[in-house]
């Protein structure tokens, strides 16, 4: 490298470290645009490209590429969250993203040094707080240490994995089951393993991101049918089924954004008529649906082979972390011995997580009243939310209740205002949900009291009613501040 070139490179590096050209540091503090991902990416990318071009010798472009500062995803993060952070600071609010919980995340949690009524956590049955579940995690650590320190097939097998797998297989009435370290990876790796280039994944339009990743991993064709609509599924299968070797219909038991229950018997009927396999994700339905919380199989009183692949997570109602798959022995052996990321080529699940999940199942068996109470609370919240005049979409007496706001901004602002008033509830905005379908999503816990739910709804009514005025004022103040600086 010549002296000139290295000086140019040093200048380019220095320029980057002073932060002038990515568009992130100079982003206007405008909270109203915090959730507007795609437009922001376009702006950010344009800024980065033009700066690289002005460096003249291309060195800047090279640096940007190696540091990933010009990566569209990196720019998007900076544009959306950097800008949001500045904005909430300016108006003196707490940024709810990545805000630490300072204790157990139950019906009440501690955040920013305050007790907050918690509608943001999917620990529906409060098992993560239960002394028996905590003790089981500690006992597993005492017996097996903090890590199995190996992949299961070679040197990482522990008796508690098999114990949990036997329990899960019994619950699903399947030949066997497999536990894994991550729910997300369970979907991605299982779909990635089961389907290939000549196959078709027919997914509910609201299917979880982990399944979408699996279809990309599989390099199969993915099409979506209208949410929870067996007729739309049939239309697609009638048109496309013949063009593919295998076809798998992939659905969820309880949809995590809308809180509606899958129309499983009708979907099974259509899928089988068109020679399709069926995979169901029970992340949110296990522990919440069915008389004893055993999910959609129990709810619809189905045999274990009504569905080919039962998938679930340990991280929601069960109060632990990890995933599982249940099905016939040959299929599960495929997952266990060949598929990457489930059991092969990845470390065995943490003993503490499996110990906790086993104890969680035991508490669920001994105290079915938790499920009954969760159902009571969910029904209560639904009824009261409707009495307050909220639009709760298609949620069906389940513990996931969206309060629809339509546009992103009111959802974000209302979540911030709720946190200020000691209620934690998530704003769900585009692109996580379709544009124009933003919402505040309430997760109900079996330990919520009617008083807490009433207070939350009354506060939300007040917040949403006052929001148009408040939001307008805040945006004007932020704009004036920006003009002065």
- Footprint of ligand PLP on this chain (CB under 6 A)? 182-184, 187, 208, 210, 252, 256, 281, 283-284, 313, 315, 323
Give the nearer residue to ligand PLP in terms of CB position, either 400 or 412: 400
Helices 351-366, 159-172: inter-axial angle, 10-degree rounding: 40
Tokens of 70: 């010009």
What sign has the CA pseudo-torsion 200, 210, 34, 453?
Answer: positive
Q: Do residues 421 and 463 touch, judged by C-beta distance below 8 A?
A: yes
Give the nearer residue to ligand PLP in terms of CB position, either 119 or 244: 119
For residues 174 and 297, what is the distance between their CA atoms, to the nearest angstrom? 11
Q: How far is the CB of 367 from ligand PLP (least distance, A)?
A: 23
Give the nearer residue to ligand PLP in terms of CB position, either 346 or 470: 346
Strand partners, 250: 203, 279
Q: How far is the CB of 262 from ligand PLP (least distance, A)?
A: 11
Q: How far is the CB of 430 from ligand PLP (least distance, A)?
A: 18
Judge residue 34's burial from the number of C-beta atoms within 10 Å of its C-beta, 0-12 exposed, 13-18 middle, 19 or more buried: buried
Give the nearer residue to ligand PLP in terms of CB position, either 44 or 323: 323
Q: How far is the CB of 197 from ligand PLP (least distance, A)?
A: 24
Q: In whole angstroms, how far apart are CA 170 and each of 164, 280, 291, 327, 372? A: 10, 17, 16, 11, 22
Q: How far is the CB of 464 from ligand PLP (least distance, A)?
A: 26
DSSP 444: P
Tokens of 410: 């009111």
Tokens of 414: 């209302």
Give the nearer residue to ligand PLP in terms of CB position, either 40 or 252: 252
Q: Do residues 176 and 326 touch, judged by C-beta distance below 8 A?
A: yes
Give the count of beta carbons closer than 10 Å to the beta carbon of residue 206: 18
Q: Do residues 113 and 323 touch, judged by C-beta distance below 8 A?
A: no
Give the nearer residue to ligand PLP in terms of CB position, either 60 or 323: 323
Q: How far is the CB of 236 from ligand PLP (least distance, A)?
A: 21
For residues 312 and 352, what is the distance between their CA atoms, to the nearest angstrom? 18
Q: Do residues 226 and 205 touch, judged by C-beta distance below 8 A?
A: yes
Q: How far is the CB of 62 from ligand PLP (least distance, A)?
A: 37
Give the nearer residue to ligand PLP in terms of CB position, either 201 or 464: 201
Give the nearer residue to ligand PLP in terms of CB position, either 82 or 312: 312
Give the nearer residue to ligand PLP in terms of CB position, either 244 or 255: 255
Q: How far is the CB of 323 from ligand PLP (least distance, A)?
A: 6
Give the nearer residue to ligand PLP in terms of CB position, either 36 or 395: 395
Q: What residues contact 196, with CB distance under 8 A and at least 6 apart?
A: 218, 219, 220, 245, 246
With CB atoms as reference, the residue minimizing the distance to ligand PLP is 183
Give the nearer residue to ligand PLP in terms of CB position, either 189 or 392: 189
Q: How far is the CB of 250 from ligand PLP (least distance, A)?
A: 11
Q: How far is the CB of 306 from ligand PLP (least distance, A)?
A: 19
Give the nearer residue to ligand PLP in terms of CB position, either 47 or 315: 315
Q: Do residues 251 and 283 touch, judged by C-beta distance below 8 A?
A: no
Tokens of 103: 């204790």
Q: In whole angstroms, how far apart are CA 79 and each of 15, 45, 82, 427, 485? A: 19, 10, 6, 18, 19
Q: Do residues 319 and 356 touch, judged by C-beta distance below 8 A?
A: yes
Q: How far is the CB of 256 from ligand PLP (least distance, A)?
A: 4
Q: Do residues 429 and 438 touch, judged by C-beta distance below 8 A?
A: yes
Q: What residues contact 137, with CB distance under 8 A and at least 6 apart?
A: 320, 352, 353, 355, 356, 359
How many residues are listed for the chain in this entry?
A: 485
Q: How far is the CB of 127 from ligand PLP (least distance, A)?
A: 14
Helix (H) or strand (E) holding 441: strand 438-443
Cα-atom radius of gyration of the chain, to the nearest Å?
25
């Amino acid at each position: 490298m010549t002296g000139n070139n290295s000086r140019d490179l040093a200048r380019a590096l220095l320029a980057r470290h002073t932060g002038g050209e990515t568009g992130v540091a100079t982003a206007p503090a405008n909270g109203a645009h915090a959730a507007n991902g795609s437009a922001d990416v376009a702006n950010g990318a344009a800024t980065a490209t033009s700066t690289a071009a002005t460096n003249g010798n291309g060195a800047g472009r090279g640096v940007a590429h190696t540091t990933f500062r010009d990566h569209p995803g990196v720019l998007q993060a900076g544009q959306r969250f950097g800008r949001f952070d500045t904005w909430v600071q300016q108006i003196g609010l707490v940024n709810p993203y990545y805000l630490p919980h300072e204790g157990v995340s139950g019906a009440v949690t501690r955040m920013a040094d305050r007790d907050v009524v918690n509608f943001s956590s999917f620990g529906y049955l409060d098992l993560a707080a239960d002394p028996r579940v905590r003790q089981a995690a500690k006992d597993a650590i005492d017996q097996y240490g903090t890590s199995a320190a190996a992949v299961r097939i070679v040197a990482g097998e522990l008796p508690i994995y098999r114990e949990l797998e036997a329990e899960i297989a019994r619950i699903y009435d399947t030949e066997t089951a497999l536990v894994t370290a991550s729910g997300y990876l369970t979907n991605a790796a299982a779909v990635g393993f089961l389907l290939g280039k000549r196959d078709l994944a027919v997914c509910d339009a609201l299917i979880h991101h982990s399944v979408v990743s699996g279809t990309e991993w599989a390099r199969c064709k993915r099409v979506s049918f209208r949410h929870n609509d067996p007729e739309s599924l049939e239309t697609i299968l009638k048109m496309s089924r013949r063009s593919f070797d295998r076809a798998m219909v992939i659905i969820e038991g309880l949809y995590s954004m809308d809180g509606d229950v899958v129309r499983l018997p009708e979907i099974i009927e259509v899928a089988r008529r068109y020679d399709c396999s069926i995979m169901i994700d029970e992340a949110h339905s296990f522990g919440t649906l069915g008389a004893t919380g055993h999910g959609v199989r129990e709810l619809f009183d189905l045999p274990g082979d009504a569905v080919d692949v039962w998938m679930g997570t340990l991280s929601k109602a069960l109060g632990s972390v990890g995933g599982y798959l249940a099905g016939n022995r040959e299929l599960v052996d495929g997952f266990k011995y060949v598929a990457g990321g489930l059991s092969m080529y990845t470390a065995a699940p943490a003993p503490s997580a499996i110990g906790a999940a086993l104890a969680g199942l035991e508490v669920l068996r001994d105290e079915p009243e938790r499920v009954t109470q969760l159902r009571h609370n969910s029904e209560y919240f639904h009824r009261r939310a409707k009495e307050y005049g909220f639009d709760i979409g298609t949620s069906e007496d389940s513990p996931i209740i969206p309060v629809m706001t339509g546009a992103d901004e009111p959802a974000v602002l209302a979540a911030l205002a709720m946190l200020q008033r000691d209620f934690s509830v998530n704003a769900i905005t585009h692109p996580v949900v379709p544009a124009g379908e933003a919402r505040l999503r309430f997760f109900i816990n079996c330990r919520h009291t009617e008083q807490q739910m009433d207070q939350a709804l009354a506060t939300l009514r007040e917040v949403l009613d006052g929001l148009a005025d408040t939001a307008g004022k805040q945006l004007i103040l932020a704009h004036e501040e920006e003009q002065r600086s």
